[in-house]
Amino acid sequence: MPTPAEQVARLRRELNRHNHLYYVMNAPEISDRDFDMMLKELETLERNHPELDDPLSPTHRVGSDINTSFQQAAHVRPMLSLANTYSIEEVDKWVTGVRNALESDDIVIDGEMKFDGTSISLIYENGRLVRAVTRGDGTQGDVVTENIKTIRSIPLEIPAETGRPDNFEIRGEILLPWEAFERLNRDREANDEPLFANPRNAAAGTLKLQNSAEAASRGLDAYFYYVLSDSLPADTHFDNLRAAASWGFKITPVLKRLHSIDEVDEFINHWDIERKKLPVATDGLVFKVNSLRQQLNLGFTAKSPRWAIAYKFPAERALTRLRFVSFEVGRMGIVTPVANLEPVLLSGTIVKRASLHNEDIIRKLDIHEGDMLYVEKGGEIIPKITGVDIKSRPEGAAPVKFVTVCPACGTPLIKIEGEAATECPNKYGCPPQIIGRIEHFAARRMMNIDGIGEETARQLYDTGLVRSSADIYSLTADSLLTLDGFGPRSAQRVIEGAEESKKVPFARVIYALSIPFVGETVSKKIAKAVGNIDRLMTISTDELTAIDDIGIAIAESITDYFADPRNRENVERLRAAGLCMEAEQADSEGGSDTLAGQSIVISGTFTHHSRDEYKALIELHGGKNVGSISKKTTAILAGENVGPSKLEKANSLGIPLLSEDDFLRKIGLDS
């Protein structure tokens, strides 16, 4: 019978192989269920034999909830940018220049796709991924290894039998496929969060998430285009990329050797159209001299290699007339101007509307009534107004003016200090805000009450049946039957959904309340830190800012929300209806009052436990974790690299520093 170590090794090999078949080759051999069962078997073995755990195991692909700040690392070889052009003639001129510089016509040019993502450098030692670094400033970048490990198309280990070098670097682009991008924006729109303008921004933002578990959920992908090593398998770029594909990397699907200027031009014209069928965003093509020896002879300028050039596709743009600007109010009261356009075909879709975002954008573009507007998509899926054709402006057309009162309730609008946004302050009397909160409360990722969407929320409000989220739990099947489109079954579905929602965990209840700035991730952190609704309703801003990723704006938003008696009343009605108002408590065995009455600041990095675990330990033993040092601070739990300003303030106030080991001994735990 195989040993546990042999079983673990076999399962890891098989899971890595199936990951590659599914995410890189698009040729799965087993069902998702079979894969999950195999993964669970490996998880069980690793749990029972912790000495066999490996950070590169397939079980670690889901990421971690531990927060870490990014470190910087220098690139072994600088990541230079490419010279680029929007002109086919300039590309032809570059090819001619390369031939002249090498004094040869015997030159092969590799044509490949330029993906519109965020650049990454992966370092492998003895076939294992050891570091992933963003491009940064080209000299150094952020280390994002944990988030990169969650991307299933990237091999974490490469067997020696594949022929890979012992040590090598491979560079590529991290991308968010169109399908994942659209799903992410749908979720953000439902949460009244700003939409990502394009997959590139979304991919870059995801790479910088502190929570790798959240990064894992977004569905990043990666394509690779450049291999560097002191022992490359081939002396041509083309063959090295093909070798990288055999090691398990997803390389550009667009890779062709070109032998003449005519072939280069044909390649550009072909992919200008065909690229739209690819599952990821692209913004151009890259041309490279194939021979590494010729690359070496051509060398570099101060900013870019002479042996490569990027051709950028021009953004797709259309000119259409502005019909009118509407002003729409979201559930948080933000008023957004929307350009309503004469329908125009752009990137395969009919565009009728485009957000103008805020008053500043309208002024910057100097939009007048009836203007002919330039609309672009390019690599962006969201239509964007980029300019005005002033020559076509109707004579005497007046500038578009931002409204000064709410278009829904007539309340004078206010400009949010320090921001471009304009807000309707009538939170509890403005219909779109109330309807938006009702819809948000019932949505899938909040309370998941089936049958209450945008239209139903509007009907419930208009008929007076629901004016706050707590009213949902007073609905009856008979009252719902008075609404258009409702029959016995659909009415019963809402009632059953409301009853089932009473099982929704506390974190999602917080999220459902529509507290400004409190999205899904923040709600989870708050629920874990505060434990129950009573503490949340009375917590101070100082205590809130002590929670990871909770800044002063979020903290003040929470305290302001619960300072309003209308919100507190709604919460009490929700509690009376039976909603979950307390987080699932971890086993409190081993707790004590050792730290009772003590306020402790956590600072630095730690070896034995994460910061979140230390916060939980402080609370478990009766103490309070606070985010800033004051005269009331009892001690500082000091790890490595405590900030100099905190040390100085602690010394000036005579506040003692507890080392990690001292703290653990104090609460009766061995380090």
Per-residue pLDDT at 92 exceeds 90: yes
Bigger pLDDT: 315 vs 81:
81
Whether the domain at 317-328+336-405 and the domain at 431-503 fall into the same CATH topology: no
Tell me: domain 599-666, CATH 3.40.50.10190, correct? yes
pLDDT higher than threshold 50 for residue 643: yes
Give 265 or 281, the one with higher predicted confidence: 265
pLDDT at 44: 85
Q: What letter represents residue 470's amino acid?
A: A
Question: What pLDDT, on a 0 to 100 scale, did the predictor assign at position 224?
Answer: 96
Q: Is 559 exposed, middle or buried (0-12, 13-18, 19+ CB in 10 A)?
A: middle
* DSSP 8-state class, residue 174: E
Pick the range with the lowest mean pLDDT from 343-347, 443-447, 639-643: 639-643
Task: Assign domain 506-577 to a CATH class.
Answer: mainly alpha
Integer Cα distance of 596 and 618 in angstroms: 9
Secondary structure E strands in 157-245? 167-175, 221-228
Give the CATH H-level superfamily of domain 317-328+336-405.
Nucleic acid-binding proteins (2.40.50.140)
Rounded mean pLDDT of 454-475?
94
Sign of the C-alpha dihedral, residues 36, 584, 470, 551? negative
Structural domain 431-503, CATH architecture: Orthogonal Bundle (1.10)
Question: What pLDDT, on a 0 to 100 scale, did the predictor assign at position 66?
Answer: 41
Token pair of 495, please? 């009632």
Task: Give the Cα separation of 426 and 406 in Å (integer).
Answer: 9
High-pLDDT (> 90) share of the chain, % = 49
Note whether 458 and 433 are within 8 A (CB): no
Burial class, 471, CB count within 10 angstroms (exposed 0-12 / middle 13-18 / buried 19+): middle
pTM over 0.75: no
Superfamily of domain 84-312: DNA ligase/mRNA capping enzyme (3.30.470.30)
Q: Regarding the domain delimited by 4-60, which CATH topology (the fold level of the hierarchy) does it fall under?
A: Helix Hairpins (1.10.287)
C-alpha 164/C-alpha 158 separation (Å) is 7
> Taking the domains of the chain in order of start, what are their residue ranges?
4-60, 84-312, 317-328+336-405, 431-503, 506-577, 599-666
Count H helices and E strands in the chain, helices first. Answer: 24, 22
Per-residue pLDDT tens over the stretch 361-376: 999 999 999 999 999 8
CA–CA dist 208, 609 (Å, integer): 23
Helix (H) or strand (E) holding 34: helix 32-48
Catalytic residue set:
114
- Give 567 or 485, the one with higher predicted confidence: 567
